[in-house]
Chains A and B, each alone.
Chain A
């Protein structure tokens, strides 16, 4: 079965760039929407971005600071969030959506990123 694993620094300084990678195992990225979602303490889940067949879509709340990319050969996709502040502190999840379904299935286990000097 397909499994996802996020990786990246757990601590990022304010104004710097947060970079995360999601590695997919047990299957191919083809045919999936590849998404990043985050969950800040005390706040609801927030979808950040997806990439699908080379097309990207971003949440307007972060659109000016975010980019998503995919490395098909490595079965990975990545997130970059620039100019971070404490408000970007969250658990970051990657998730897949099959193009004939909905929701996110599976989700990665999540990685906590703290923005602090």
Chain B
């Protein structure tokens, strides 16, 4: 099973700043099959990125994904108030599909 470790656990930033979230895999993620999801309190997660760098439908271009192998990054270029949420990475290259423990992006 591929274990995904996200850092930092909590990231305090201000609106307008740039956010960089990390996801490290315990082994290489096949074909860069890595997704990022956003979850706001009381809501279901929402897909942001798949294939490590492909934005999902209707996702703002402020969100970008990068990385390959075992190291992946989600960058939010200019934080808007609605971006403060929990972000999860998820690999779907091998079974069982697994998630990171999440990074909480909070307002500083």
Using a Cβ–Cβ cut-off of 8 Å, how many residues does chain B contribute to the interface with A? 28
- Do B101 and A107 have beta carbons less than 8 Å apart? no
Binds B, one of A11-19, A21-29, A53-61, A80-88: A53-61
- Do B35 and A102 have beta carbons less than 8 Å apart? yes
User: Is B33 close to A, CB under 8 A?
Assistant: yes
Most chain A CB neighbours (cut-off 10 Å) among B45, B49, B102: B45
Complex interface bits, B27-64 against A, C-beta within 8 A gives 1, otherwise 0 = 00000011111000001111101110010110000000
Q: How many A-B residue pairs have CB under 8 A?
A: 66
Binding site for A on B (CB under 8 A): 1, 33-37, 43-47, 49-51, 54, 56-57, 88, 90, 92, 95-102
Can you list 28 A-B pairs, Cβ within 8 angstroms, ordered by A?
A: A44-B100, A44-B101, A45-B88, A45-B99, A47-B90, A47-B96, A57-B95, A59-B95, A60-B96, A97-B92, A101-B51, A102-B33, A102-B34, A102-B35, A102-B50, A103-B35, A103-B47, A103-B49, A104-B35, A104-B47, A105-B46, A105-B47, A105-B50, A106-B47, A107-B44, A107-B45, A107-B47, A109-B43
